[in-house]
Amino acid sequence: MFMEEVLRSSQNRSLLYKNREIESFKEFMHLLKKSRFLRKYKGVKLNVSLNQGSIQGSKIYSQISLDALYKIESDKVAIKIYKYLEKMGIFSGLKFKTRVLLTYYLVYGNDKIRIKRILKTYYSSEENIKRIIKQIPFNVRLEIMRMVEESKIKN
């Protein structure tokens, strides 16, 4: 009965929830309580997926964050820089949206119009991204600039 209720409430929703097994009703109620603000005020719906009879759940990703990840996957240079920054551990503790904005700022920092459009799309400010960029080590920034220049030469 518990599984049927979860199935009925989880169809056609825009929020991704995966990769951790929920073992009890108490834990499921905790997840509902944790996402109450998002569901009530932001209009985001909860999506719980069933995997071989057990409920799966992990983190709540907003639709904006998922859109940002899909957008960066379409840009070859940006995804290369994104993977490099992820490997270097620069992204620890940052949200997906912030990771994507940081990557785009490092790749297209000279194109102010493009940066402003991306920042406006994902509801962020340039000051926040600049503050995070200051924390990136200089040798990592040099390597990123070298990678961007190599990609411009190839194109």
pLDDT in tens, 133-144: 999 999 999 999
* pLDDT value at 69 more than 60: yes
Distance CA 50, CA 30 (A): 18
Looking at residue 64, its pLDDT comes to 77
Distance CA 89, CA 5 (A): 40
**Residue among 45, 44, 38, 6 nearest 24 (CA):** 6
The whole-number average pLDDT for the span 35-44 is 67
Q: Kindly report the average pLDDT of the chain as a whole number.
A: 74
Q: Is the pTM of this model over 0.85?
A: no
Sign of CA dihedral 79, 83, 89, 94: positive
Looking at residue 152, its pLDDT comes to 80
Residues 67, 52, single domain; the answer is no
Quote the number of domains for the chain.
Answer: 2
Provide the pLDDT confidence category of residue 3 given band limits of 50, 70 and 90: very low
Burial of 67 (0-12, 13-18, 19+ CB in 10 A): middle
Looking at residue 5, its pLDDT comes to 37
Which are the contacts of 114, defined by CB distance < 8 A and separation ≥ 6?
Answer: 104, 108
Domain boundary among 56, 71, 93: 56
Residues 88, 146, single domain; the answer is yes
Q: What residues are paired with 49 via a beta bridge?
A: 56
* pLDDT value at 24 more than 90: no
* pLDDT value at 50 more than 70: no
Residues 27, 44, single domain; the answer is yes
Contact 96, 69 (CB under 8 A): yes
Looking at residue 16, its pLDDT comes to 37
Residues 47, 73, single domain; the answer is no
Residues 75, 42, single domain; the answer is no
Residues 30, 95, single domain; the answer is no
Residues 51, 75, single domain; the answer is no
- Copy the structure tokens of residue 11: 């169809």
Cα-based distances in Å from 149 to 32, 80, 128, 134:
47, 13, 25, 21
Looking at residue 34, its pLDDT comes to 72
Residues 73, 127, single domain; the answer is yes
Tell me which residue range forms the domain holding 34: 2-56
